[in-house]
Amino acid sequence: RKEVEQDPGPFNVPEGATVAFNCTYSNSASQSFFWYRQDCRKEPKLLMSVYSSGNEDGRFTAQLNRASQYISLLIRDSKLSDSATYLCVVPGYTGFQKLVFGTGTRLLVSP
Partner 1 sequence: DTEVTQTPKHLVMGMTNKKSLKCEQHMGHRAMYWYKQKAKKPPELMFVYSYEKLSINESVPSRFSPECPNSSLLNLHLHALQPEDSALYLCASSPQVGVHTGELFFGEGSRLTVL
- Among the listed ranges 18-26, 41-49, 54-62, 75-83, the one in contact with partner 1 (CB under 8 A) is 41-49
> Per CB under 8 A, does 21 bind partner 1?
no
By CB under 8 A, name the one of 12, 18, 31, 53 that touches partner 1: 31
Distance separating alpha carbons of residues 61 and 34, to the nearest angstrom: 12
Residue with smaller CB distance to partner 1, 19 or 87: 87
Q: Which residues contact 48 (CB under 8 A, 6 or more apart)?
A: 34, 35, 55, 57, 60, 62, 73
Query: Under a CB-based contact definition with an 8 Å cutoff, are residues 10 and 21 in contact?
Result: no
Element holding 21 (H helix, E strand): strand 19-25
> Per CB under 8 A, does 45 bind partner 1?
yes
Residues in contact with partner 1 by the rule CB under 8 A: 31-34, 36, 41-46, 49, 51, 87, 89-91, 96-99, 101-104
